[in-house]
Amino acid sequence: MNHLSVSRTVSRPKRQRGQRTRQRLLDAAEAAFGRHGYFETSITDITREADVAQGTFYVYFPSKKAIFSELVRERSHDLRRTIQEAVAGFSDRRDVERAGFTSFFDFIRGHPAMYRIVRQAEFVDPNLFRWYYRRFADGYVHGLREAIEAGQIRNLDPEVLAFCLMGIADFLGMRYVLWEKQVPKPAVIDAVMEFMMSGLDGAGRTK
């Protein structure tokens, strides 16, 4: 497993022109992969979109897989940072969750390709795929554990909770953002929060 090691054959471009070309290729790849998926996208599609010659691709990336992995890692990092920044100011768990969910929906609204890319990752590089969710889950578990210790939410296995919450976010993002092509209306967000927070708080008629 070496999906975290940086591409062997190809070094980072030193000059500005190179930097730009490399970025153009990454953006083109995101668009192309988002449109037709990894497997139905050819290198030619990417270079055509980036408006460079075929051979240029291999100046920057050693393979199709490599640019894909790079893309997943970059965007994954962007997303996590976006969410972290969004929840930074809040201490109450309800506020944290609402801010987190909202910024997640915003992000995928701006990066609709993201979904398809992550989903394909499973087939391109299973390790990368698990790494992606594991990173997320780890952050989530950490936050939940703190909230539990602070008595903000009840004491349920945070690993289980993390995957529940990620699943909720993922499916709502699919249903409302991807399918309807818009961020969920406040009413939807409210309903989700209602459901989620009761679940986290516990209580209710349950037993």
Partner DNA sequence: CATGAATGAGATTTCATTCAT
Partner DNA sequence: AATGAATGAAATCTCATTCAT
Give contact residues for DNA (rule: CB under 7 A).
1-2, 7-8, 11, 13-15, 17-18, 20-21, 40-44, 52-59, 62-65
CB of 116 to DNA, least distance (A): 16
Nearer to a second copy, 78 or 159 (CB): 159
Residue 20 interacts with, from DNA, a second copy, none (CB under 5-8 Å by kind): DNA
Nearer to a second copy, 82 or 133 (CB): 133
Residue 172 interacts with, from DNA, a second copy, none (CB under 5-8 Å by kind): a second copy
Residue 204 interacts with, from a second copy, DNA, none (CB under 5-8 Å by kind): a second copy
Contact predicate 141/162, CB 8 Å = yes
CB of 72 to DNA, least distance (A): 16
Query: Which position has the token pair 């993922």?
Result: 170
Distance between CA atoms of 168 and 185, rounded to whole angstroms?
16
Which residues of the shown chain bind a second copy in the complex (CB under 8 A)?
1, 3, 7, 36-42, 44-45, 94, 116, 119-120, 122-123, 130, 133, 156-157, 159-161, 163-164, 166-172, 174-175, 179, 187-188, 191-192, 194-207
Distance between CA atoms of 145 and 142, rounded to whole angstroms?
5
Nearer to a second copy, 74 or 191 (CB): 191
CB of 19 to DNA, least distance (A): 7
Would you state the structure tokens that stand for residue 89, as one six-digit string?
């100011």
* Contact residues for 171 (Cβ-Cβ < 8 A; gap 6+): none
CB of 126 to a second copy, least distance (A): 10
Would you state the structure tokens that stand for residue 76, as one six-digit string?
């994954």
Query: Which position has the token pair 């929060």?
Result: 193
Instruction: Give the closest residue to 197 by CA, choosing from 100, 86, 91, 94.
Output: 94
Distance between CA atoms of 57 and 47, rounded to whole angstroms?
7
Contact predicate 91/104, CB 8 Å = no
